[in-house]
Amino acid sequence: MSTVYLNGDFLPKEEAFISPDDRGFLLGDGLYEVTPFYEGVPFGFDEHLARLVRGLRWMRIDFDTSGLEAMHRELLARNGLDTAERALVYLQITRGAAPRTHYFPEGDVTPTVYAYAKAWSRPSDERWNRGFTAATVPDRRWSRVDIKSICLLPNAIGFQDAKERGADDAILVRDGVAIEGAHQNFWAVFGGTAVTHPKTNHILPGITRDIVLDEARRAGVAVEERPIQLEELTLADEAFFTGTTGEVRPVVEIDGRPVGNGRVGDVTRRLSDLFLARVEATKATAVAGAAMTQAE
Ligand SMILES: Cc1ncc(COP(=O)(O)O)c(C=O)c1O
């Protein structure tokens, strides 16, 4: 049975109830965050927290985030996931329950805070090596997708359209630009340079994207942050997505046409290896830190 967190309590999921007046339910007035843990070690926790805090400020939701890391750890432990190879905590914060108005409720309204933990897994090497397919769909989202709001209807419809066309994933296209995936950032490789959309209000600033950019720069892999025109995709040698649960995910076919030679490319493999090495290094640092604390 899964244990979830709701407004300060850990309780069985079956006993977790949220008011029908919750503004997340009625208006999509909330934010979410998904934070990965590898064998119980948080990966990019501060960056995920910083993105959440930025979103809360922008939405003018007053919420103290200082207890969140401890809550994440406890939720994992209570679900027996504190040593899982890969686990995540989904956290959602809404403005809270109040009579439905479009303007913010007057008086003190306590934000609703809900979280659950679950294990996830990387595709098998065989599956990863075959690569994934994607279909381009219109980006119908609003103009502040850099805020990780729970209003994901355009993402869901885009993903569904891609799925119905037989693709594994969607690439959202706005004004002729391949912006990002429905739940991942998008990259294309041209002549050895890995290109991804710059951080603007039109993409979700992915934590995985930042880590891959950082690792690439350290390793001397050429990267560029610029919009990728849809027309250019026919010239791309490789393509891939980055995201918390997708990690680095190769894309070998877009709209039924092979990307490059239709096989997972060297730059994608290199960046995936660098990403996985960063995960291993983070785990090793955490283990060494824990050993030092014990010795003191
Ligand atoms: C639209 C979109 N782009 C990109 C990402 C990847 O972000 P991250 O790497 O932080 O998981 C997400 C993750 O939810 C997303 O929803």
- Answer whether 180 contacts ligand 1 (Cβ < 6 A): yes
Closest C-alpha to ligand 1, atom 13: 183
Provide the 10 A C-beta neighbour count for residue 55. 20
Phi and psi (nearest 5°) for 35? -115, 130
- Answer whether 204 contacts ligand 1 (Cβ < 6 A): yes
Chain centre to alpha carbon of residue 65:
19
The residue behind tokens 């996830």 is 120
Measured distance CA(147)–CA(155) in Å, rounded: 14
Radius of gyration of the chain (CA): 20
Atom of ligand 1 nearest to the CA of 180: 3
3-state per-residue secondary structure call for 160-172: HHHHHCCCCEEEE
Atom of ligand 1 nearest to the CA of 209: 9
- Answer whether 35 contacts ligand 1 (Cβ < 6 A): no
Q: Given this model, what pLDDT does residue 34 score?
A: 98
Class of the domain covering 3-119: alpha beta
Q: Given this model, what pLDDT does residue 294 score?
A: 80
CB 139 within 8 Å of CB 154? yes
- Which numeric CATH code is attached to 125-280? 3.20.10.10
- Answer whether 158 contacts ligand 1 (Cβ < 6 A): no
- Answer whether 184 contacts ligand 1 (Cβ < 6 A): yes
Q: Given this model, what pLDDT does residue 292 score?
A: 81
Strand boundaries in the chain, DSSP class E: 3-6, 9-12, 30-38, 41-42, 87-94, 112-119, 132-138, 169-174, 177-181, 185-190, 193-196, 223-225, 238-243, 247-254, 257-258
Q: Given this model, what pLDDT does residue 261 score?
A: 97
Domain ranges of the chain: 3-119, 125-280
Q: Given this model, what pLDDT does residue 204 score?
A: 98
Measured distance CA(281)–CA(296) in Å, rounded: 23
Per-residue pLDDT reduced to its tens digit, 6-19 = 999 999 999 999 99
Q: Which portions of the chain are predicted below pLDDT 70?
A: none
Q: Please identify which of the residues 13, 118, 148, 283 carries the catalytic annotation.
A: 148
Q: Given this model, what pLDDT does residue 183 score?
A: 98
Q: How many helices (H) and strands (E) does the chain have?
A: 7, 15
Atom of ligand 1 nearest to the CA of 47: 10
SS3 assignment, position 226: coil
Region for residue 60 given its phi and psi (left: phi exceeds 0; alpha: psi -120 to 50; beta: otherwise):
left
How far, in Å, are 76, 111, 195, 276 from residue 84 at the CA level?
A: 9, 30, 33, 16
